[in-house]
Amino acid sequence: MAKQNSSRGRQAKTSSPNSDSKKKSTTVRKSFNKGKTFTKGKANPYRKDIRKDSPKQRLEEPTEIRLNKYISNSGICSRREADTYIKAGSATVNGKVITEMGYKVKPTDDVRFDDVSINPEPKRYVLLNKPKNYITTMDDERGRHTVMELVGKATKERIYPVGRLDRNTTGLLLFTNDGEMAKKLTHPKHNIKKLYHASLDKKLALTDLQKISENFVLEGKMVFVDAISYIENESKTEIGIEIHSGRNRIVRKIFEHFGYKVTKLDRVIFAGMTKKNLPRGHWKHLTQQEVNNLKMI
């Protein structure tokens, strides 16, 4: 009898999958919670699922969030107060007034509160010394190099170029997620100064230099050049020109209008910032003082 009881006892033990499963599950949970590793040589069937569903990975994925939370995260007010403002029509998304409770916005949406752009992310400001053969765009269908490849690791926040530099133009290019700052730095009324070093295919005649320094019409629009001069101790093919216009390829078009071709173009100063200690192809975060200087413009 003792043997039979013992046999039944063994059978009972081996035939309790639920009990065994619970034990294994408890062991796995304890090991995972304590940060212990599994025994070497034993497969961990839970590892793949744990990695797949890790909170860190979920946080990195771009998700939509409610408009009231977006406004609250921007530091304007509480979520409850945000609901009141939304009902009153104080918030717009991509230019459209939103009064719907629970409306969700994407990270790429242009969200404004009382017509001022807001962003729940920390403001970032990155200055790049752009090399040749990179285009100023977020991506390119033709597979050409873009400036985003150069600043991709600068910050986890999504930043955008302020203005443009054409593919063959080098020099200073600012990136930020501060919409108001970007708007300020690109609007002509703020007279943001940009200084370029232009290399020409032939010497610039003094008479042409004087003509360029005066107001003239180009493609039906008046052009205003803030300053132009020969670069000291250089050939008269090397010209410094300062403008505040944001028109596309404006510097090249100015010289082409007077019969000269720009062979090299480098932006050496932008909004008071210089290329000092910033090699070609490298970037840096602006200091707080540099950010303050931009805000005071």
Catalytic residues: 166
Record the tokens describing residue 215, joined without a space. Answer: 């107001």
Name the one residue in this structure whose structure tokens are 């059978």: 11
Nearest to 146 by CA among 138, 156, 155, 157: 138
Nearest to 157 by CA among 127, 125, 134, 184: 125
CB-based contacts of 240, cutoff 8 Å, min separation 6: 195, 196, 197, 198, 227, 228, 229, 230, 231
| Distance of alpha carbon 200 from alpha carbon 159, whole angstroms | 34
Burial of 53 (0-12, 13-18, 19+ CB in 10 A): exposed
| Distance of alpha carbon 164 from alpha carbon 166, whole angstroms | 6
